[in-house]
Amino acid sequence: MPLTFQELLFRLQMFWAERGCVLQQPYDVEVGAGTMSPDTFLRVLGPKPIHIAYAQPSRRPADGRYGENPNRLYKHTQFQVILKPPPADIQDLYLESLRAIGIDLREHDIKFEEDNWESPTLGAWGIGWQVMLDGLEITQFTYFQQCGGIDLDPISGEITYGLERIAAFLQDVDSIYDIVWARDPVTGRQITYGEVRLEEELQFSVYNFEAAEIEKLWEHLQMYEAECQALLTSFQDLKKLQQHEKAHERAVHEEHEVERQIKRFPVLGAYDLCLKCSHLFNLLDARGAISVTERVGVIARIRNLAVGVAKAYVAQQEKPPLAVRA
């Protein structure tokens, strides 16, 4: 019997956990893709190795179809694996993971076709493939090269599985809503994806396309942006202070005070605010509220925040300069 939706998730989590990944929970702020979770966006920055995996519900308001289209969703689930640095056998590991979810590759046609990923909003891009299984794109496989406008070293390998697609494929159903989400081990009763999520798809399509108040959305966007920007500015001031003290080889402030402030600075909070902006932008876009001239400008504003957060994160992770530490 093919895997249920939740078994598919269990198997992938187990598979990657057994290969040394930390299993993280889905991030609890709206994101458009698993890449935007801080577990990817921030952790791929800097030198510290990570192996991490998590499922990430990903919201794309404009893709909503009121639950009427069998292949399209407002919110789909990505399973995201980040390996930094990527092990030399990362492709083989990936193929093994397919075996682990019940795909016998000898009975399928698998191809790695060029598909480079890019997110202008995040100032991020990578080189990679879409993995095609019997003509179906089941995974995006990317070697991250840049994130938040920062060149990565070491780079990260990112594997993003489209869980709904894979489940529909494994269960051979034509509609996502017919996917069996869970099966009662005692009674055998099945709960479908539709039973779990259809209502949400419908209601959020109505909200995203019809009900969301455009003026409020703009206000929220401006408020989140302003707060994020203010945080980033304070952080930059701290860094300037630190450099100033280093330049004069003396600590104006009490020893370690600036470092302490840098270390406890809420860069992660700033990133949440940036994610909020991104989601609000997507909502405004779905509402058709962003004119063509505004569009590019708003994307640039959010990109600015993302790049600012990435820079701050890297600066925060760096070891303090020696002159001050002494």
Partner 1 sequence: MSDLLFEIGLEEIPARMIAAAQKELHRRVLELLNRERLVSGATIESRSYSTPRRIAVVFPGVLPKQADTEEQLTGPSWSVAFKNGEPTPAALAFAKKAGVEVSALEKTVTPKGEYVTATVSRSGRAATEVLAEQLPKELAALYWPKNMYWRAGKPERFVRPVKWIVALLDEAVVPVEFAGVRASNLSYGHRILHGAQAVTILKPSEYVSALEAAKVLVDVDARRQRIRKALDAATRSVAGARWREDAALVETVTHLTEWPSVLLGNFEPEYLSLPEEVLVTVMRDHQKYFAVEDASGKLAPHFLAVLNTETDERGIGVIQHGNERVLRARFNDARFFWTVDQKVLLTDRVEMLKSVTFQKDLGSYYDKTQANLRIAEEIAVLAANRGVALDRDALLTATRLAKTDLTTELVKEFTELQGIVGGLYARVQGLGETVAQAIYAQYTPASVEDAIPDIVEGQILGLVDRIQTIAAMFAIGLEPTGSKDPFALRRAANGVVKILAESDLPLTLADMIAMPGKDEARIADRVSAFLRERVEFYLRDVRAFHYDVVKAVIAADHENVRDAVARAEALSAVRGSEDFLAISAAFKRIKNILRQAGEKQGRPGGEGRVDQKLLVDAPEQALYSEAEKLVPAVESLRAERKYQEALEQIATLRPHVDLFFDKVMVMVEDPAVRQNRLTLLAWVLHGFSSIADFSEIVSS
Q: Rounded distance, CA 54 to CA 150, Å?
A: 24
Minimum CB separation from partner 1 for residue 227, in Å?
Answer: 28
Torsion of CA 301, 305, 310, 313, to 10 degrees: 170
Cite the beta strand spans of 93-234 per DSSP E: 110-114, 117-119, 124-133, 136-147, 150-162, 180-183, 190-192
Which one of 189, 249, 254, 291 is in contact with partner 1 (CB under 8 A)? 291
Minimum CB separation from partner 1 for residue 235, in Å?
Answer: 28
Which residue do the tokens 């003026």 mark? 215
Which one of 69, 171, 203, 236 is in contact with partner 1 (CB under 8 A)? 69
Q: Which of 49, 46, 116, 40 is nearest to 80 (CA)?
A: 40
Minimum CB separation from partner 1 for residue 105, in Å?
Answer: 5
Q: Is 292 in the site for partner 1 (CB under 8 A)?
A: yes
- Angle, helices 90-100 vs 5-18, to 10°: value is 140
Cite the beta strand spans of 230-312 per DSSP E: none
Which residue do the tokens 């996502």 mark? 176
Residues 13-42 that bind partner 1 (CB under 8 A): none
Choice between 99 and 240, CB closer to partner 1: 99
Residues 74-113 that bind partner 1 (CB under 8 A): 85-86, 88, 91-92, 95, 105-113
Rg of the chain over all Cα atoms, to the nearest angstrom: 22
Residues 123-162 that bind partner 1 (CB under 8 A): 126-127, 129, 133-136, 143, 145, 153-155
Choice between 20 and 288, CB closer to partner 1: 288
Minimum CB separation from partner 1 for residue 306, in Å?
Answer: 21
Q: Which amino acid is at 28?
A: D
Minimum CB separation from partner 1 for residue 149, in Å?
Answer: 16
Residues 198-227 that bind partner 1 (CB under 8 A): none
Q: Rounded distance, CA 223 to CA 273, Å?
A: 9
Choice between 69 and 203, CB closer to partner 1: 69
Size of the site for partner 1 (CB under 8 A): 41
Choice between 69 and 261, CB closer to partner 1: 69
Q: How many CA atoms lie within 13 A of 326 on its CB side?
A: 7
Which one of 114, 215, 249, 254 is in contact with partner 1 (CB under 8 A)? 114
- Which helix or strand (DSSP H or E) is residue 301 part of? helix 292-317
Per-residue tokens: 92: 């083989």
Which one of 1, 18, 28, 172 is in contact with partner 1 (CB under 8 A)? 172
CB distance 56 to 31 below 8 Å = yes
Minimum CB separation from partner 1 for residue 197, in Å?
Answer: 19
Which residue do the tokens 């995006």 mark? 140
Choice between 111 and 240, CB closer to partner 1: 111
- Which helix or strand (DSSP H or E) is residue 68 part of? none
Minimum CB separation from partner 1 for residue 115, in Å?
Answer: 9
Minimum CB separation from partner 1 for residue 23, in Å?
Answer: 25
Q: Which amino acid is at 248?
A: H
Q: Rounded distance, CA 252 to CA 143, Å?
A: 44
Choice between 83 and 275, CB closer to partner 1: 83
Which residues of this chain interact with partner 1, rule CB under 8 A? 69-71, 85-86, 88, 91-92, 95, 105-114, 116, 126-127, 129, 133-136, 143, 145, 153-155, 169, 172, 174, 288, 291-293, 295-296
